Amino acid sequence: MTTQKMTTSWTWLDNGEIRALNLDVAAGVLRWYDQIGCHCADDDYWPQTVSDFRQNGNPPLIGDLPEDVSAELGETLALIEQG
């Protein structure tokens, strides 16, 4: 029996600001973070269900996902859906 490792957390730069995403697999919730580490923000996150993400995409304040993050997120969600 083989086990497939899933990526469930990502960080990237967007116009000099650190963005992040964490996927809570058990809850089926994506947690989007904007301006991590900024003294002007308290590192709040926006929760989003996987089904809402599939229907509406990521929150507008996050901006476009980098291609590598988008690809890995797609792979992880496909693994989850396969069970």
Q: What is the pLDDT of residues 19-74, one digit of tens each?
A: 999 999 999 999 999 877 655 555 578 899 999 999 999 998 888 999 999 999 99
Inside any domain, residue 66: yes
Inside any domain, residue 26: yes
Inside any domain, residue 1: no
78 sits in which H/E element: helix 67-82
Inside any domain, residue 3: no
CB 10, CB 20: distance < 8 Å: yes
pTM of the entire structure? 0.83
> Domain of 19?
9-82
Inside any domain, residue 14: yes
